[in-house]
Chains A and B, each alone.
Chain A
Amino acid sequence: MPLYYDDDQAMLAETAQAFMSEEGAIAKQLRHWRDRDCKDGFGHGLWKQFAEMGFTGMLVDEDDGGLGMGHVEAGIVLENIGRNLTPSPFLSSSVLAATALKHGSDDVRGRWLPGLIEGEKVYSVAIDEGAKHRPETIACKAEKSGNGFRLSGKKDFVVYGASSEMIVVAARTSGDDSDSDGITLFAVPQDASGMSHDSVRLVDSSMASHVTFDGVELDGDAVIGEVDGGRDVLNAMLMAGRVGAAAEGVGVASGAMDMTVDYLKQRKQFGKLIGEFQALQHRAAHLYSEVEIARAVTIKAAQLLDGGSEKADLMASVAKAKVAKAAGLAVKEGVQMHGGIGMTDEYDIGLYMKRDRALQEFLGDMYYHAGRVAEMSGY
């Protein structure tokens, strides 16, 4: 498969770009909700529009009422989300939760998918149990209880958790904390008694929860996939999320870079446009190279994932790490090259830096993923 968009994908890219730069623009969404101290951190109206555009269920199979598209397509939407810093539950609901639900029974899919596709409902995922992403270790426990389970423990970095009608929770149903087997995924509804959210605003003004499960009673039909066999579903979900986060990161990087290059062409110092200074030109050109390479490997990872390749896991980590490097560089150079104005809240470049920081941490930073690359390569 060639590493560029085919005609349908190019058309989707055009649509997504027009929609996100208009409806999802920074002033209209991110700043609007932030300045009103919105407890959701995003607009439900926009989420409805996502559904009207056909974005919400793009990864859901056609038999389940979705569009049955792939991760390249989801990446196109995410890149435009990143470029416009559009706050939305797309990554957590339509990529992560949707990937988990693919593995659910008819009942599970029938219960949760329609609401997602229609943009009525928002979902999240609960994976991390500490400040750093370490999904190899799951201590959250779900013990057999009657014909269901009793869930106890704590989860962190549950994005938009308090606004979610359902959270996909990875919990341990047997074995030790660091065992690969013995994991089960549950669809935990918002009104489950014993679940409480400590919801906090993050640096990028998104909301995330520390969630406590204090003996939450779950029916057997909350299980997604096989009991004790959830690791594969979790891995599939993580891969999809990482490739998606990489695509959003490419958008953040490109958005920051474009803003900066524009600024270099306008701002005068010492009687010259600052873009005339070679010291800045070379840094900008280096940045361009890094962003292009990050974009290439992100499309590559999405294609491998769509094709069911066994290399997808490796390339998802390569993409997540490479994008983190490139986007980190883009926002740092962005703020520096903007000078004093880059430090003001009024100017958007700082918002890119904040979003990048949150996105880097989500589902593993570059150090975590470079470490995975080493491990998967045998060193």
Chain B
Amino acid sequence: MSDLEAFRAETREWLEANCPPEMRQPVRDEQDIYWGGRNATFKNDAQKAWFEACRDKGYTVPEWPKEYGGAGLSPAEGKILRQEMSRMGARPPLSSFGIWMLGPALLHFGTEGQKKRFLNEIAAGEIRWCQGYSEPGSGSDLVSMQTYGEDKGDHWVVNGQKIWTSYADEADWIFCLVRTDKQNKYQGITFMLFDMAGSGVTTKPIKLISGNSPFCETFFDDVSVPKSYGEDCPGYVGEINRGWDVAKYLLGHEREMISGAGGGDRTAAIGAAMKRNAGELDAVLRAELAMFDVDALAYTAMGEKFLDEMKVGKGHPAQPNMMKYAGTELNKRRHELMMAAGGSRALEWESDETSGGKPARNWLRTKANSIEGGTSEVMLNVISKRILDLPGA
């Protein structure tokens, strides 16, 4: 037996022993997701047991090094773990912007002190992070942002407003882009880390067309951000005034994530499922579903190619923009078709049958896919400029 085969067998055994049956059900609502944080509560014992088992094993962040709370798995082992988890339908033990966004940035740009402290906290689900990028008037044009940090020697005093800060009202800390030099558009932004419990930070949820509210407005009123949290642990990532480098790196990660490069059901074929739910399909709808499935299956192959190429450093660096563009447009189309196939049942805003209007709310939610993380139009601009090398783009 090869090492990887042995690892697979071991992993399967461990998952069977540690993943409670309740955690092998599909996620139905927000309560089924565990986000961690200072004020986190578990929905039930199974959720707690599953989270703790994974945390102790390093499986909340399996591919991070052991000294930072991970399990130190190789990419091949990580893939096996994901395969085995998806085979048994296991839920993620911990969901977190710390894992998806800040973690990769710290692994790349962080000091040893920052990694030791923040990565371990993230892995253990102790601190829930949110991301402070967009501002009113600075959406996809991020570098036009105005939130300003005035240098006071050992700290900054930050004033301004962020918008679309997902779950800011439930987050403990924020990783935040702050202008620290008003003269320089790109090289005048610092990537700061600070506690939202400090004075001067307020948040206000924004209700969306889906009736839900994952997003907030976040206000900074004379917030004091230390330049250091102790030895080798600065209050900012990378260099002062060079936060744009970190932000760009992170946006690449976000786009890969949103594009669903790893597969998942966002881009899977849906025709067969729609027939099971809706019975006989109208001829034109069936045709639309078939054309959608062609695009979805082809996109899945693209996602696989993209990941294969990334692993060996092939492929164009702007390829995540293409994946993001094509993936989000596809996901919007997918939900349009699901609504059409669902008929009047899919319109129900509140019913047990629809788990509280899930089809309609999800459909409305997907409209943000081509706006958040850079609009489709911005993705097309990037492809024009960086891949096709078109003039003046």
Contacts and interface: CB of A to CB of B under 8 A. Distances in A.
A371 B301 contact: no
Secondary structure type dominating chain B contacts: helix
B294 A275 contact: no
Q: Which of B275, B295, B377, B389 has the most CB of A within 10 A?
A: B295
Interface residues of A, number: 43
Contact of B390 (A2, A264, A378): A264
A293 B380 contact: no
Contacts of A294: 298
A318 B286 contact: no
Contact of A292 (B269, B322, B384, B392): B322
A264 B305 CA distance: 29
A282 B383 CA distance: 9
B281 interface: yes
Contacts of A183: none
A315 B301 CA distance: 10
Given A264-B390, A379-B274, A373 B301 contact: no
Nearest to A304: B301
Given A374-B290, A377-B272, A379-B275, A293 B299 contact: yes
Given A3-B305, A4-B309, A379 B271 contact: yes
Secondary structure type dominating chain A contacts: helix
A379 B305 contact: no
B305 A284 contact: no
A265 B391 contact: yes
A233 interface: no
A343 interface: no
B322 to A, nearest CB: 5
A7 to B, nearest CB: 12
A370 B298 contact: no
A273 B325 CA distance: 25
Contacts of A373: 269, 271, 290, 293-294, 297
B302 A379 contact: no
Nearest to B392: A276
A285 interface: yes
Nearest to A374: B290
Nearest to A265: B391
B301 A296 contact: yes
B286 A261 contact: no
A325 interface: yes
A285 B298 contact: no
Interface of B: 269, 271-272, 274-275, 281, 286-287, 289-291, 293-295, 297-299, 301-302, 304-306, 308-309, 311-312, 314, 322, 325-326, 377, 379-381, 383-384, 387-393
Interface in A220-256: none
B340 to A, nearest CB: 14
Contacts of A370: 287, 290-291, 293-294
B393 A281 contact: yes
Interface string A285-307: 11011101110110110000000
A312 interface: no
B388 A261 contact: yes
Contacts of B274: 379
B271 A2 contact: no
Contacts of B379: 285
A284 B388 contact: yes
Given A293-B326, A371-B290, A3 B391 contact: no
B384 A374 contact: no
8 contacts: A3-B304, A265-B390, A278-B393, A288-B322, A315-B297, A373-B269, A374-B286, A379-B271
B286 A300 contact: no
Contact of B312 (A2, A276, A284, A299): A2
A355 interface: no
